[in-house]
C-alpha cells in the first residue's frame, strides 16, 4: 500500500509537471559589458554558473543597446520592444519639452514618465501585456517585477500582480527568494518574472570597467546565478523555466572630460540627464552668451571642439539664434 501510494504520488507529480505551463524569468545585470565573462576567464577567474547557462542555451555575442546608453531607457526598451524615441524615456532623468516637466527618480510612479514618446497611449511593457492576457488563455497569467524601471507606475490600467520598488540595499539573494515565492505561490503563481540587479554597473562606475574589482564582481554575480539555479531546482521550477540573462548597456573608460562650465555660463541654461549625454535647454534670450562660448573653445582637442561646438550650434538653432556671429 505504501508502495502504491508512493507510485501514485510519483505519477501525480509527473502529470502535474508535464501539464504545467512554461515560465519565463528575465534577469538583468546592470552594466554587464559583453566581454566581462571573457576577461574574467582570461584572468583565471571561474564562472561555472554562467558557463552552465551558456552551454545549456543560446549565447548571444552581445546586446545592441539603445542610444542613450542609460539604465532606464534601455531597460524600458527591453521591456517594451521600442526604441527610446518611441517610448520616450530618454534618460534616467530627462526633460519633457512639450509639457515642460522634469522626470527623475522622484516621478517613478507617474505614468507620464513612461509615456513620453511618439506612441499613442505609450509603449506597453511585457509585464502589462502578460497581465492583460490573464483571461485569454486556459491558465491565469501574472507578472512579478523586482526593481525593473517602469514597474512602479500603473500603465495601461495595469500593475504587475507582485512588485518590489527599487531599493539598492535589498540583498540580491533575498530578491531571488522573493521571486521564487511568487513563482511557487499556491493561490496566485506568476508565469513571468523580471529581476533586476544593479551590479556590476555600480562597481564599474566606482573602479572603472577595466578594473579587477569589476571582474571580482562578475564572479560574485556568477555565484548569484548559481543560487538562482539552486533555488529553481529546490522549488521544482527549473524544468519548466525559460531563463533570459541580459544587460542594459556596457561601459567604457572616458579618455577626456568636458568641463562645460569652462565654455558656457551655467546660468544660461537648464541641464538635465547625466554622463554620457546631457540635455541642455538654453534660457530664452540668452543666445549671444552661447555664441561667446564658442569663441572660448580651445584648438588643441578636436573631439572636444567638435562635440561642444555641435552642442552650442544646436542650442542656437533651437532658440532662433542663427544670426549670432560664428
Return residues touching Zn ion (CB under 5 A): 30-31, 71, 201, 248
In the set 22, 47, 69, 71, the catalytic residue is 71
Nearer to Zn ion, 181 or 207 (CB): 207
- Of 196 and 269, the one with the shorter C-beta distance to Zn ion is 196
Say how many C-beta atoms besides its own lie within 10 A of residue 158's C-beta. 17
| SS3 (DSSP) at 23 | strand
> Could you confirm whether 90 is annotated as catalytic?
no
Distance CA 117, CA 120 (A): 8
Beta carbon nearer to Zn ion, 199 or 248: 248
Q: Which residue has the cell 561555472?
A: 48
Q: Are 192 and 126 in contact (CB under 8 A)?
A: yes
Distance in Å, CB of 28 to Zn ion, minimum: 8
- What sign does the dihedral 71-77-83-86 (CA atoms) show? negative
Comparison of 60 and 274: residue with beta carbon closer to Zn ion: 274
Least separation in angstroms between residue 69's CB and Zn ion is 8
The distance of closest approach from Cβ of residue 319 to Zn ion in the complex, given in angstroms and rounded to an integer, is 32
State the cell numbers at 228: 538562482
C-alpha angle 242-247-251 in degrees, rounded to nearest 5? 160
CB of 251 to Zn ion, least distance (A): 9
Which position's Cβ is nearest Zn ion?
Answer: 71
91 within 8 A of 274, measured Cβ to Cβ: yes
Give the catalytic positions in this structure. 71
Amino acid at each position: 500500500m505504501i508502495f502504491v501510494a508512493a507510485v501514485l504520488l510519483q505519477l501525480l507529480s509527473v502529470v502535474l509537471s508535464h501539464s504545467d505551463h512554461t515560465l519565463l524569468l528575465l534577469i538583468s545585470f546592470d552594466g554587464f559589458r559583453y566581454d566581462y565573462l571573457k576577461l574574467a576567464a582570461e584572468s583565471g577567474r571561474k564562472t561555472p554558473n554562467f558557463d552552465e547557462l551558456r552551454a545549456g542555451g543560446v549565447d548571444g555575442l552581445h546586446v545592441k543597446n539603445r542610444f542613450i546608453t542609460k539604465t532606464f531607457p534601455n531597460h524600458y526598451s527591453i521591456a517594451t520592444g521600442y526604441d527610446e524615441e518611441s517610448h520616450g524615456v530618454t534618460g534616467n532623468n530627462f526633460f519633457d519639452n512639450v509639457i515642460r516637466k522634469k522626470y527623475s527618480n522622484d516621478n517613478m510612479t507617474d505614468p507620464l514618465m513612461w509615456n513620453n514618446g511618439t506612441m499613442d497611449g505609450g509603449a506597453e511593457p511585457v509585464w502589462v501585456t502578460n497581465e492583460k492576457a490573464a483571461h485569454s488563455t486556459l491558465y491565469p497569467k501574472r507578472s512579478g517585477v523586482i526593481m525593473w524601471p517602469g514597474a512602479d507606475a500603473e500603465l495601461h490600467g495595469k500593475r504587475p500582480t507582485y512588485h518590489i520598488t527599487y531599493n539598492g540595499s535589498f540583498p540580491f539573494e533575498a530578491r531571488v527568494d522573493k521571486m521564487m515565492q511568487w513563482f511557487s505561490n499556491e493561490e496566485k503563481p506568476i508565469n513571468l518574472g523580471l529581476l533586476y540587479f544593479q551590479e556590476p554597473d555600480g562597481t564599474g562606475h566606482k573602479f572603472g570597467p577595466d578594473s579587477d574589482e569589476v571582474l571580482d564582481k562578475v564572479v560574485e554575480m556568477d555565484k548569484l546565478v548559481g543560487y538562482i539555479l539552486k533555488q529553481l531546482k529546490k522549488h521544482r521550477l527549473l524544468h519548466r523555466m525559460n531563463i533570459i540573462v541580459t544587460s542594459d548597456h556596457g561601459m567604457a573608460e572616458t579618455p577626456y572630460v568636458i568641463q562645460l562650465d569652462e565654455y558656457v555660463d551655467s546660468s544660461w541654461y537648464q541641464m538635465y540627464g547625466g554622463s554620457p549625454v546631457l540635455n541642455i535647454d538654453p534660457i530664452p534670450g540668452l543666445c549671444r552668451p552661447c555664441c561667446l562660448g564658442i569663441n572660448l573653445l580651445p584648438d588643441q582637442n578636436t573631439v572636444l571642439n567638435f562635440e561642444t561646438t555641435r552642442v552650442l550650434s544646436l542650442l542656437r538653432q533651437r532658440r532662433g539664434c542663427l544670426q549670432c556671429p560664428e
